[in-house]
Structure 1
């Protein structure tokens, strides 16, 4: 029990979210949050590391050092905002930046230098949350459903929490039953496409995508990706859903040649919405769900939220987790604060039914200050 900081830098690679939480017998209370954007050079380095390249071991190590410094700066910003001293914080729990996720090959790699972070912030650091689950035969992801259950479950209502970051995942909360998996791309392709054509990091409010039109043949082509039909447990990342994947599908679809870039953006938003809705409607996701709460950057994309609501139909409400009292961009950082508390209490942080691991495991590795 005590005060914990959670740090999350997700697949969108826009920066780091930090959340300060008090976790005790009464539950979890958010005391503050901060965001620090990645310097453009670091973001470029991390993006380049998503694919194999020359001298990548050294490049990754240097990027990890730079990342640890951004984490430390974000922690300092958060403590200054909230008026707390570092000696009041039990631990910092940090996810790291995923650069490879290949559980089918028995590994996942999150770039980070937690030893350096412990030196810089003077607080115990807990890192490497995914590896133990993968070692136990699991996907190592998603890890947030256990937290979603602790924070958002309702004893008489089946709820779905849809996290739309670079990759999208869902948590199905039905009483004591918790299920979840990665559904496919979230914002990653949307961000990549607008960066290519307009030089922007993301489509603010989905406005550019909303100016385009759906390309049905392209959507059908994108939906043919075998990953979408795989049974859970399953997880994915930029190892599969990257711009080269999109380019292959564009080249294979004649209708895409006459579509405008805004049309492609509109269709990519539809892909995220349709794959989320398909997963939520499926038997594995529990067709009884009547409420869907969205977190992550996708919650701020009006077009995406509209498309998801339309895909699910009028009997399913779609709103952000703000309706449950937690800002959408704070949820994942809070989840890692919670996972950090689980580690310090030597409690399991994974859900075998979600990840496919052979059993419950304590997740994380400690780097004392």
Structure 2
């Protein structure tokens, strides 16, 4: 197969605001496979500027435009690093699928918008490669949530004709994909992933995340606080549903705190909140699932994984590494595939997941 039809790049920078994941994917065979990966971390200054745009502030339009340009340059840097690592030329890449950086996600019908910062025209200019971006807006325009978008790709990689599997993506937000043996695919956001743990950890320790959940392990879960947090209406809403920093943030958390809590105990409670959101959704909606596979940054949190195994007894709980795809790179891989669908003119949305009125072609094309 001509390389021009087989090579795509996927770029993902998630709600956790840790950095940029970029992958080079080869779609010349089935299943597709990853050829190379590249990661660029965000510095604290950029992370802070992005966080500021999650809330109303002065001169937002200008600041958002400047950040879109800055992100395009950093995405281009990731693309260059990726291609240099494997000796592939830009002319060999069909397209880049770039998710962009989410700063607002308000899919509710009375609002109906989502914002992922990027300047895809600039990214195409800097790389000389066609860019596909703005994957979520069309689904929202069709009445959907615009998220999660990756369950259809999970189906390609992980569907099993004998076993009911659930893929749990633990990024900033946690979302689930159910893959039944008869081919049914459903999914939804189920609550915070790393977003609350990271925010609390940064606020109290200055570290961007709690490595392996070590600080949370040092604390004790506060049952009364956990109960209050889980009483949030989002957890009892039936799918389709999606969420983000608009709901889960430090202001929300601190409204439930007395101020006397030990910070490590709050961290332990936030870890358990993530566990409860995932396990509770699995037990409520997919009780027959026998295998749970974890991906995203939270899959590397050993304390979190251990708690999930305790909360889901009698089920296999492993990382997607064990079924052939590195848990760290799965979402970027998915956006390479989504770009391929757009270039091929094939709808890639799942109305059963997002609640849209029908399948839609997702993404806008910026020629290289």
TM over 0.5, yes or no?
Answer: yes
CA deviation after TM superposition for structure 1 residue 116, in Å: 0.5
CA deviation after TM superposition for structure 1 residue 300, in Å: 0.7
2:306 matched to which residue of 1? 306
Cα distance in 2, alignment partners of residues 26 and 330 from structure 1: 18
2:194 to 187, 195, 208: 187
CA deviation after TM superposition for structure 1 residue 306, in Å: 1.1
Matched, 1:148 2:147: no
Matched, 1:77 2:81: yes
1:271 matched to which residue of 2? 273
2:282 matched to which residue of 1? 280
Q: Which moved more, 1:38-47 or 1:267-276?
A: 38-47
Cα distance in 2, alignment partners of residues 221 and 250 from structure 1: 10
2:263 matched to which residue of 1? 261
Q: Could you report, residue by residue, the CA deviation over 1:327-353 in whole angstroms, capped at 9, with x for unpaired residues?
A: 111000000001011111111111000
CA deviation after TM superposition for structure 1 residue 25, in Å: 4.9
Match runs of 1:153-168 below 5 Å: 153-168=159-174
Matched, 1:220 2:227: yes
Cα distance in 1, alignment partners of residues 88 and 333 from structure 2: 17
Cα pair 1:38 1:70 within 8 Å, conserved: no
2:91 to 87, 90, 102: 87
Cα distance in 1, alignment partners of residues 220 and 31 from structure 2: 45
Matched, 1:126 2:132: yes
Root mean square deviation, CA, Å: 0.9
2:70 matched to which residue of 1? 66
Cα distance in 1, alignment partners of residues 29 and 214 from structure 2: 43
SS in 2 for 1:329: coil
SS in 1 for 2:123: helix
1:292 matched to which residue of 2? 292
Cα distance in 2, alignment partners of residues 260 and 82 from structure 1: 48
CA deviation after TM superposition for structure 1 residue 225, in Å: 0.5
Q: TM-score scaled by structure 1?
A: 0.96
SS in 1 for 2:32: strand
Match runs of 1:1-369 below 5 Å: 1-104=5-108, 105-175=111-181, 176-251=183-258, 257-282=259-284, 285-313=285-313, 315-369=314-368
Cα distance in 2, alignment partners of residues 77 and 222 from structure 1: 42
Cα distance in 2, alignment partners of residues 302 and 323 from structure 1: 16
1:254 matched to which residue of 2? none
CA deviation after TM superposition for structure 1 residue 214, in Å: 1.0
Cα pair 1:128 1:365 within 8 Å, conserved: yes
Q: Could you report, residue by residue, the CA deviation over 1:113-144 in whole angstroms, capped at 9, with x for unpaired residues?
A: 00000011110000000000000000000001
SS in 2 for 1:347: coil
SS in 1 for 2:23: strand
SS in 2 for 1:96: strand
Cα distance in 2, alignment partners of residues 188 and 209 from structure 1: 14
CA deviation after TM superposition for structure 1 residue 258, in Å: 4.0
Cα distance in 1, alignment partners of residues 349 and 339 from structure 2: 12
CA deviation after TM superposition for structure 1 residue 40, in Å: 2.4
What is the count of residue pairs matched by the alignment?
A: 361
CA deviation after TM superposition for structure 1 residue 83, in Å: 1.3
Where in structure 2 are there 5+ consecutive unaligned residues?
none
Cα distance in 2, alignment partners of residues 321 and 248 from structure 1: 36
CA deviation after TM superposition for structure 1 residue 259, in Å: 3.0
Q: Could you report, residue by residue, the CA deviation over 1:290-310 in whole angstroms, capped at 9, with x for unpaired residues?
A: 111100010011111111111
CA deviation after TM superposition for structure 1 residue 24, in Å: 3.1
Cα distance in 2, alignment partners of residues 168 and 151 from structure 1: 19
